[in-house]
Amino acid sequence: MKLTVKIKDQIKQIQLNKGDNLLKILHSNGIFINAYCGGKGICKKCIVRFLENTPEPLKIEKEALADKIEEGYRLACLHNIEKDATVEIEALKPIFSDFLANVCCDDDKTHIAIDIGTTTIAAAMVENKKITNSISLLNPQIAFGGDVISRIASSNEGNFNTLSSILKDSINDIISSLKKPSSMVICANPTMLSFFLGLNPKSIGEYPYTPPFKGSLTTQFSDIDIYIPPVIGAFVGSDITSALSLLPENEDFLFIDIGTNCEFILKIKDNYFSSSVPAGPALEGTNIDYGSIAQNGAIYKVSFENGIKVYTINNKKPTGITGSGLISVIALLRKFGIIDKTGRLVEPWEAEAPFSIINRIKGKGFLLTDDIYLTQNSIRNFQLVKASLNAGLELLLKKIGQKLPNKIFIGGGFSKSLSRDEIINSGLLSFEGEFVMLQNSSLAGGLRLFCLKEREKVERLSKKIKYIEIANEADFERLYIKKMDF
């Protein structure tokens, strides 16, 4: 049997056996699409378009894809190929953007800093000590699961070489899209670093949870000098320690990097503590209905101005909801009582809000645009993030016997457009002190590490950090459940 795959202007012919699963066939032939649930039919992101011999849609597809069903759109993981077929797939394409940060560089050469996130890979190029270009793309490993544990599990099942090679290919694609630099700084969690370096991450996923290496590393990639800031533990890597170049040494603070995992650095006097808790990729825009990474048309903010108003990246037609958009709309609907304390979207007759808001409560969820909804499932996934973050923070403070400092630094690409009120009203954090948004702190920190003095600072402070395990504590599950409500 034959499967024809169209990606942009390219066509690939694949031989397969009758009954082979479409998603598995695509992956085994080096065609990687979003499937962060690992092909379990949960995330509804592995969307392809059949152009020939389109299978009958399943109930779950009719609900998830709605009007696109008639155009041949289906979920790849749910279909086995029974006859010759042709499918069309949207390529994972890089997104050029404007990234602003303070650069520190000892020379005028070309350098690239890269943040390898579990969901998104972001990079910025420096020329003559200034950022001249920046780019991001979806991490292709998302085809094997949305978090590091699922990637490690897939690696253990025989996919290590594939996971490593597709990540390296993405880094090479970024270099090709920019310019070959004289050096690079690579910031990532220990699992992503392991795949990038060709090291098996198995030990990260097994007790006592140890990374393949600790400390900083200098090496080469594609004949380019590489610096990797220090790795502290299994879940605190160079993406966190690079941020030390952005943080003050003369005051106490809490730094939170919120992504697929939430990592903390707590500074009390001259003591540094770190920890990590799983959060899931809701704030990366990938495991929510109508979710989107930060790209043209993605909704990043929602407000009420004589009606609901959505703000999209570059003012393009709305295409989906980013992590910041999710926080923003949840904060707004909590304010108007459309989401109750348990996280339930109320029925229209229960709501006490302006009619223009109540009128948007539909069967699918809360209508943001003609075809984009905030669904109950998306709210629940946000609750998982906020519960994990707040439970982890409370347990960390309890274990070291300290109170929260008066300043919190928040890292994560989603934080760029958020206000303090949105963070508090959404329930993401409850805090009386000062918030400082660092956006992508991993990349911003990496851009300062082309200076020897900044590298020395990061190396010195990293040695002071004491890692505190909290996610596997018995109290964590109890607090996690308690923090689920708003």
Residue 138, domain CATH: 3.30.420.480
- Residue 345 pairs with which residues in a beta bridge? 339
Supply the pLDDT for residue 36.
66
Q: In the 8-state DSSP scheme, what is residue 64?
A: H
Place of tokens 């050096």: 183
Supply the pLDDT for residue 93.
64
Tokens standing for residue 20: 């082979």
Question: Do 10 and 84 reside in the same domain of the chain?
Answer: yes
Supply the pLDDT for residue 32.
81
Q: Order of strands, edge to edge, in the sheet holding 261-268? A: 434-439, 407-411, 253-258, 261-268, 271-278, 465-467
Question: Do 101 and 221 reside in the same domain of the chain?
Answer: yes
Domain of 66, in residue numbers: 2-89
Supply the pLDDT for residue 279.
85
**Is the distance from CB of 280 to CB of 389 less than 8 angstroms?**
no
Is residue 448 domain-resident? yes
Residue 298 CA to its chain's centroid (Å): 15
Q: Assign 7 to helix, strand or coil.
A: strand
Question: Do 162 and 192 reside in the same domain of the chain?
Answer: yes
- The count of domains in the chain is 3
Question: Do 78 and 112 reside in the same domain of the chain?
Answer: no
The CATH number that applies at residue 16 is 3.10.20.30
Give all strands (DSSP E) within 370-463, no chain letters: 372-374, 407-411, 434-439
From 342, 374, 406, the end of a domain falls on 374
Supply the pLDDT for residue 92.
66
Question: Do 217 and 148 reside in the same domain of the chain?
Answer: yes
Supply the pLDDT for residue 142.
86
- pLDDT mean by block of 10 residues, the chain; 486 residues: 89 92 88 76 86 92 86 94 93 70 94 94 96 91 88 95 96 94 98 98 93 97 98 95 96 92 94 92 82 86 93 91 95 97 95 93 93 94 95 95 93 80 93 87 97 97 95 90 95
**Is the distance from CB of 123 to CB of 136 less than 8 angstroms?**
yes
Question: Do 104 and 183 reside in the same domain of the chain?
Answer: yes
Supply the pLDDT for residue 327.
96
Q: Assign 192 to helix, strand or coil.
A: helix
Supply the pLDDT for residue 247.
96
Straight-line distance from the first to the last Cα atom of the chain, in angstroms, rounded to the nearest whole number? 53
The pTM of the whole model exceeds 0.85: yes
Phi, psi angles (nearest 5°) of residue 41: 80, 20
Q: Is 254 exposed, middle or buried (0-12, 13-18, 19+ CB in 10 A)?
A: buried
Question: Do 14 and 136 reside in the same domain of the chain?
Answer: no
